Structure 1
């Protein structure tokens, strides 16, 4: 079962994942770290995997992106 978003919505597609990760970036402190990770989400996360069609591989990418995002949010203090 895919991980749930804060609103109860399931992350089951790249679009849901993109929106979730951009919301996660808003929880980072303003400045360099936030801008860096927003750029990374756009560039590395979506443009580099835009041609992926295998549903199993897409789910692997989603799971790894969520794992990385949660690790980052645990390490970096949230913005107030």
Structure 2
């Protein structure tokens, strides 16, 4: 995932993850993961600890890569 090292804020992460959804193979999958991303973003809006925010960002990026690998790799 290009540009991952530039993601420093929750808004940047949110936008990046929504762009990643476009790579998923079906519209239903895209809609499902967009909803999950939105829910995750909303559930962490009150987070103010910079270390915790970075942990959340790193975990979300790892999860996104795993999902993309799972659905976009040739079988």
Tell whether the structures are fold-level matches, with TM greater than 0.5.
yes
Listed one character per residue, the Cα deviations across residues 23-56 of structure 1 (whole Å, up to 9, x for unaligned) are 100000132111100000001x211000000000
Question: Please, what is the CA RMSD of the aligned residues?
Answer: 1.7
- Residue 19 (structure 1) shift: 0.8
Q: Which structure's relative contact order is higher, taking Cα pairs within 8 Å and 6+ residues apart?
A: 2
Q: Among 6, 10, 13, which residue is 1:14 paired with?
A: 10
Q: Are 2:65 and 1:70 equivalent residues in the alignment?
A: yes
Query: Could you tell me how far apart the structure 1 residues matched to 2:61 and 2:30 are?
Result: 17
Query: Could you tell me how far apart the structure 1 residues matched to 2:56 and 2:3 are?
Result: 22
The aligned residue for residue 27 of structure 1 is: 23
Moved over 3 A (4+): none
The runs of 5 or more residues in structure 1 that have no matched partner are none
Q: What TM-score comes out, normalization by structure 2 length?
A: 0.87
Which structure shows the bigger proportion of residues in helix conformation? 2
